[in-house]
Amino acid sequence: MRKMWILFLKDMRLELRQRDMGVLMIAFAVMETLLFGFALDSGDRLPVSEMAGILWMGFLFAGMLGIVRLFGRESKEDVMVGMAMAPGGRLPVVAAKMGVAWLFCVTTGMTATAMAVAVFQVPGTQISFAVVVVMLLGALGVASVGTLLSSVSLNLSGHEVLLPVLTMPFLVPVAITGMEATRAVWTGGRPWPWIHALMAYDVVFMVLPLLLYEFLWEV
Amino acid sequence: MVRMVLEVRGLTKSLAGRPILSHISFALRAERSLVVMGSNGAGKSTLLLVLGGVLGYDGGTLARFGRIVPPEGITDGRIGYLGHRSLMYPNLTLADNLNLYARLWRVPDAARCIERAAERVGLSLWQHEPLTRYSQGMRQRAAWARLLLIEPELWLLDEPLAGLDPEGRQLVAGLLAEHLARGAAAVVTSHRWQDAPQLGHMAAVLQNGQLGDWRPVAESTPTEEPG
């Protein structure tokens, strides 16, 4: 736990200095929402089904942008070897990365939601606690899938091009459940079956990297 | 009785289906340094990473400090590795990088130890500059500072003299001698026989994944090259 926390704080500190991951994700999500706002002429209110779709597509692409850079700082000087050799083993290294990715995804998701609400004029009564829960869970799905695939593909040539293609199919369930849950909240439907499905997917992909990391380390 | 640091028996390792190490056996006790000679691509770096627990192994047994290491590999804070790269964040300063390592290794009185480590490798004046401003030689010295800071009992050094100027080579030889005198041990790789006397007591050639016989470095001829 101590090692994980040290590594998490280190990543936060690096982000504050370099601003090349979290800031990039948030900027992408904001710009994507604004561009869709102009493109679809949000003067006339969009159907909520389309609003949810635009929000989640923007969020997922922004998430992928961050995931590609997740281990970027470590790859240049083989820093992963140094971190793994530190007392505490290899698991805290990946757990810290997952935590960092989740925090950035949550921030991006919340910003994107706020932007979507403003740009697409979602009525205030339809913004509820459930949307926040959906976004937290969606961020966890993106972070856990992304951490697993990013760590596996770290040493592959063309990692930055390959990773989004590898990640996309695994994010389809996150996208579908997240979109449907958000849509249900915004239309006054029942979001919980979708939220439960998203939770189940998150649990699988949170546990998988922690179980497989020891074996995938050498890939 | 002198403590055994490493005991390797019949160790094998493949990477991506290609055998890299085949039935490697040797033992290393405290206060000794072994030199593994081999040409580029012979598997020297892989051997060090397996010994350090960064990579697992496929067959045989590996024991460190009297304890068997599981085949999937497990790292140990008593082991320090010096590779071809610094293992440090290029955008952080040397002091920040060393501080990170000090926290991970729970180095007591970290500030003083960081200062001393930077001073010993001649980077005192540069310790508050990011590593992106360092030359290759300075990055190598920075990596040495990391090793000196955490003071591991077993050093795994991958071609530590490569690319160093005469002053740097002298520094490394001195640091290694001090390390061994403290009762620690080292496994060092090199591809130049001429370097062996500065690096260890016994040397063997790693070729086609197999390790040859160990012999005192004094017996090796300067003109003989591995591979």
Q: What is the DSSP string of A34-87?
A: HHHHHHTTTTSPPPHHHHHHHHHHHHHHHHHHHHHTTTHHHHTTTHHHHHHHST
- Note whether A156 contacts B: Cβ–Cβ < 8 A: no
Confidence grade of residue B227 (pLDDT, cut at 50, 70, 90): very low
Give the contacts of B74 (CB within 8 A, at least 6 positions apart): A89, B53
Please report, in angstroms and rounded to a whole number, the separation of the first and last CA atoms in chain A. 25
Chain A CA closest to residue B13 = A218
Chain B CA closest to residue A85 = B75
- Note whether A212 contacts B: Cβ–Cβ < 8 A: no
Burial of A100 (0-12, 13-18, 19+ CB in 10 A): buried
pLDDT at B94 over 60: yes
C-beta atoms of A83 and B79 within 8 A: no
pLDDT at A179 over 50: yes
The reported pLDDT for the residue numbered A33 is: 86
Per-residue pLDDT reduced to its tens digit, B21-40: 989 999 999 888 899 988 88
pLDDT at B61 over 90: yes
CB pairs A-B closer than 8 Å:
73
pLDDT at B225 over 70: no
Cβ-nearest to A79 among B52, B76, B87:
B87
- Note whether A157 contacts B: Cβ–Cβ < 8 A: no
Q: Which residues in B lie closer than 8 A to residue A96 (C-beta atoms)?
A: none
**C-alpha atoms less than 13 angstroms from C-alpha of A122 in its C-beta half-sphere:** 25
Separation between Cα atoms, residue B9 and residue B12, nearest integer Å:
9
- Note whether A211 contacts B: Cβ–Cβ < 8 A: no
User: Percent of chain A, pLDDT > 70?
Assistant: 92
Per-position b or e across B89-114, b if 16+ CB within 10 A of its CB: bbbbbbbbbbbbbbbbbebeebeebb
Confidence grade of residue A137 (pLDDT, cut at 50, 70, 90): very high
- Among A92-96, B203-207, B220-224, the minimum mean pLDDT is found in B220-224
Per-residue pLDDT reduced to its tens digit, A186-212: 888 888 999 999 999 999 988 887 777
Q: Is the ipTM of this complex over 0.90?
A: no
The reported pLDDT for the residue numbered A114 is: 86
- Note whether A93 contacts B: Cβ–Cβ < 8 A: no
Per-chain mean pLDDT for chain B: 87
At position B117, the amino acid (one-letter code) is A
For B21, the 3-state DSSP assignment is strand
User: Which of A123, A111, A134, A125 minimizes the C-alpha distance to A48?
Assistant: A123
Q: Is the distance from CB of A140 to CB of A202 less than 8 angstroms? A: yes
The reported pLDDT for the residue numbered B148 is: 92
For A98, the 3-state DSSP assignment is helix
pLDDT at A42 over 70: no
Cβ-nearest to A10 among B79, B100, B105:
B100
